[in-house]
Structure 1
Amino acid sequence: MAELNSPAPEPELVVCARKLVTPQGVRAGHVLVSGGRITAVADEDTAAPSVPRLDAGDHYVLPGLIDSHVHFRTPGLTHKEDWEHGTRAAVTGGFTTVMDMPNTVPPTLTAQAVAEKADLVKGHSLTDHVLHIGVDPQNPKLLATLDRSVATSAKLFMAGHHTAPTVVRDPAVLEEAFAAAAEGGVQLMLHAEDGGLFSLLDEWWGEPGSYREYEARRPRSGGIAAVAKVIELVRRHGTRAHILHLSSAEEADLMCAAQAAGLPVTFEVTGHHLSFTDEDTRRLGARTRLSPSIRRQADQDRLWEAVYAGQPATIGSDHAPHTIEEKSRTVQASPPGLPGVQELAVAVWTGMRRRRPEEDVDTAAARLVRYLGSGPADLFGLPGKGRLEPGADADLVFFDPDATWMFSARGVRAKCGWSAYEGWTMTGRIERTLRAGQTVWDAATQTFGSYDGRRLSATGPR
């Protein structure tokens, strides 16, 4: 980056817009780009006439979005998703940075495994990316000495399912993991459900036999018990803990109370828990079979209340594709998860506009950027990401907030080729996505850029 007081480099690109979503608010202006970074956000366009320009017109220009929760299935599960398809889906949805989960085959549990995954991804990514490491139940103490250039965040599963090969079931190991993460300054990311409770219920009831009973057989009590356990462990050890895919009203209340008590806990809500209810699972079956399960209308309402109140730290997609064949198996054998990175931003925007159609559009756009931009950037320490300001990476998204269109499986970029949102009438559309000043998705021509995304070394919270 240029030294203080040195002259700004000549711009290589100017983006002109009437609605730039900046940290100071929505404004008209010109974004000057050089060397893949934003050098200025200016009132006047003073660049030479020869400099290329992109005019966003009345579309909003957002900072490139960040999805902190994706499963791109590399390595070992690439029959259902791979990095090229996953990042095509990401940039089509306005995401220029993704954070990938470790439950692959083999799971990403060591520095060597992280390096090997990074090598596999190199040259196949349209986005920049961060790789979460996994918590190994056989070696939880690794977190105490984890090199911050390898990872600063670690995924811990408290309950098992089809794609969770490493689950921490032993309370003593769980305690050890929280203590080690606190010592090493590692952000724990938790699938917080009590697997033992589910096993106990299954022994009594039997496993779910139909999707009409799926939510009741994977009940909210599993999440509530696990979240309460996490809060107590955080209280004892001071571990920074981020609960993923919060699903129920009671869990949201517990997390907000813990935050109010000063504990270092945060939580994520997902696009699918904001978009679907258990009635959709009864109708759509395996397409919205998730872990944790999609719950009732009152729970969805509470999660939206949290979004409007600024209570979650992030909104994630939990992009977890499976093939149609896998989703067509019996209730017991069908894996939980659905694709979502392409759909996330527009699905959340659609929900916001339907719930509060009278709300000022600038206010809604700033909220979207907070949860999908600055929020994850701050939580995971990603300097240069999530904000449209001088010095930041020139990751930009042109967004039409008023476009209405029907989501079709023909437009799905994920390798699985299907979407639970098929047939939805969406509000809002991503028109163009730029990463480091280069167009990686253009909706007008339906074309992608080059696969030269970088692996980022997260620095931890600011």
Structure 2
Amino acid sequence: MPGTGGGVVDRLTPTPELVVSGRRLVTPQGVRPGHVCVTGGRVTAVTDTDPGPAAARLDAGEHYVLPGLIDSHVHFRTPGLTHKEDWEHGSRAAVRGGVTTVMDMPNTVPPTLTPETASAKAALVDGHSLVDYRFHLGLDPDRPELLADLDARVATSVKIFMAGHHTAPTVVRDPDQLEKAFAAAAQGGVQLVLHAEDDGLFALLDSWWGEPGSYLEYEARRPRTGGIVAVAKVLELVRRHGTRAHILHLSSAEEADLVCAARAAGLPVTFEVTGHHLSFTDKDTRRLGARTRLSPSIRAAGDQDRLWRALREGQVATLGSDHAPHTVEEKTRGVAQSPPGLPGVQELAVAVWTGMRRRWPEEHPDVAAVRLVRHLSARPAELFRLPGKGRLEAGADADLVFLAPDVPWMLSAGDVESKCGWSAYEGWTFTGRIERTLRAGRTVWDASTGSYGAHDGRLLGAAPAAPTPSAGTAGTEAPTP
């Protein structure tokens, strides 16, 4: 087609509003030089040949130009918990990290459990977000049948907490309620996203161990067995009902093996890995204490190695930050009272990029760029039916990110945009920096000036449902430059 791929540009095409030129465009076909034409907030063409006159131009040079990144696991704390975070701060952190779309979790006050609470939440966010957004609805354990008739305009995904913690609004402890939720979700074509740890197992350990006296004792009370038992339960429910299930913040080698085996057997189950489980191990807890008190816990180096291997082999579906800010005062209340969670949407992409470059120095950086886009853009867009997102090609939203791949820089407290004002990554030296972020063809973060754009991010609808792919091989392909 003229103007979209080869060497011919259609001169009858209207003058684009913006042309972004670069030598490293990360497209669905791989990394290539070219020019991205933008009009009306959408990509109209990706061309080899300069399209000629344009109202505005940006030259990305040797920076990678990525499609806008998607963090499908954030807690921006609106409504009811805005002393920890709000959409102005959270979305600034997002765009500074190259994220142009977020999916917010339901554990707010009140929790987002119904179409009415989702609508009220959207009204509060409107006019305050630099990023586009969609919500995961929460499960009301007393009304699991609602999932059978969930309107896709409200949500295409529902969060289930199988274990409780400080901000979990509704925890499903009753096996019958869980079974009904999986059956109703399968009937309604709803994607379940799960905090898959076993609350009964944790309660048993708590009654025996008592309260932890230090952060080094925390994992003994929230061990890997909680995740392994819960994942096994999820897989059995998926097998019985055919429900699409996505395991959040998977943390151990055994859980990864279970989900990969289930996918090979044809079950529609996927998993997320967080930036913090790729970045920290239990040894870091000796140094960072409350800052790395998380749920699920930070695990051992062997678990971290398994999660990195899952990313390299394409077994991971999505990368997420589980951006869950708490104030410094809350995090330093004492081991038993300190809530789990850390901010991470700003650090996610650069932390994963840095890890890939350092763990696999022999790998061509184009391969790392394709992998980053696959699991932090394309796959979440597919999984959660986000229209126009996840790809750099004609017809997509003009969400673009300039990544300087080799720039070293250190994160300081002054760089942190989250309202909580701290980061577990303070003092880290990263390789790679987000230089510019565009949403709908307009700059929302410019590192050269330290400036942000307009808070006019929009609530996203749902793309049409696609047939469930064969799970035996999906997500296992190796990226190529």
TM-score by length of structure 2 reads 0.94
Which of residues 28, 35, 39 in structure 2 aligns to 1:30? 35
1:295 aligns with: 299
- The answer to whether the 8 Å contact 2:401/2:434 transfers is yes
CA offsets per residue over residues 322-354 of structure 1, 9 Å max, x none? 000000011110000000000000000011011
CA offsets per residue over residues 236-259 of structure 1, 9 Å max, x none? 111000000000000000000000
| 1:93 is the counterpart of 2:70 | no
Superposed displacement of residue 8, structure 1: 4.0
Q: Which runs of 5+ in 2 are unaligned?
A: 1-9, 467-481
Query: Equivalents in 2 of 1:243, 1:182: separation in Å?
Result: 16
- The answer to whether the 8 Å contact 2:387/2:461 transfers is no
1:40 partner amino acid: A
1:372 partner amino acid: L
Query: Equivalents in 2 of 1:109, 1:149: separation in Å?
Result: 14
* 1:429-448 correspondence to structure 2 within 5 Å: 429-448=433-452
Superposed displacement of residue 6, structure 1: 13
1:362 aligns with: 366
1:19 aligns with: 24
Query: Equivalents in 1 of 2:394, 2:212: separation in Å?
Result: 53
Superposed displacement of residue 358, structure 1: 1.5
* 1:52-131 correspondence to structure 2 within 5 Å: 52-131=56-135
2:173 counterpart SS class? coil
Superposed displacement of residue 40, structure 1: 0.5
1:34 partner amino acid: T
2:163 aligns with: 159
1:98 partner amino acid: V
1:142 aligns with: 146
After superposition, the Cα gap between the structure-2 partners of 1:6 and 1:143, relative to the gap in structure 1 and judged at 3 Å, is farther
Superposed displacement of residue 112, structure 1: 0.4
- The answer to whether the 8 Å contact 1:378/1:461 transfers is no
| 1:212 is the counterpart of 2:194 | no
After superposition, the Cα gap between the structure-2 partners of 1:59 and 1:203, relative to the gap in structure 1 and judged at 3 Å, is same
1:213 partner amino acid: E
CA offsets per residue over residues 109-167 of structure 1, 9 Å max, x none? 00000000000000001000011100011111111111111101000000000000211
* 1:45-56 correspondence to structure 2 within 5 Å: 45-48=50-53, 51-56=55-60
**CA RMSD for the aligned pairs?**
1.3
TM-score by length of structure 1 reads 0.98
2:215 counterpart SS class? coil
- The answer to whether the 8 Å contact 1:382/1:460 transfers is no
Q: Which runs of 5+ in 1 are unaligned?
A: none
2:357 aligns with: 353
Which of residues 274, 280, 291 in structure 2 aligns to 1:276? 280
Which of residues 372, 375, 383 in structure 1 aligns to 2:376? 372
2:271 aligns with: 267
- The answer to whether the 8 Å contact 1:379/1:460 transfers is no
Give % identity: 76
2:181 partner amino acid: A
CA offsets per residue over residues 73-103 of structure 1, 9 Å max, x none? 0000000000110000000000000000000
1:151 partner amino acid: A
Query: Equivalents in 2 of 1:39, 1:198: separation in Å?
Result: 53
Superposed displacement of residue 213, structure 1: 1.5
Which of residues 416, 419, 435 in structure 1 aligns to 2:423? 419
Query: Equivalents in 2 of 1:391, 1:108: separation in Å?
Result: 32
1:213 counterpart SS class? helix
1:209 counterpart SS class? coil
1:59 counterpart SS class? strand
1:32 partner amino acid: C
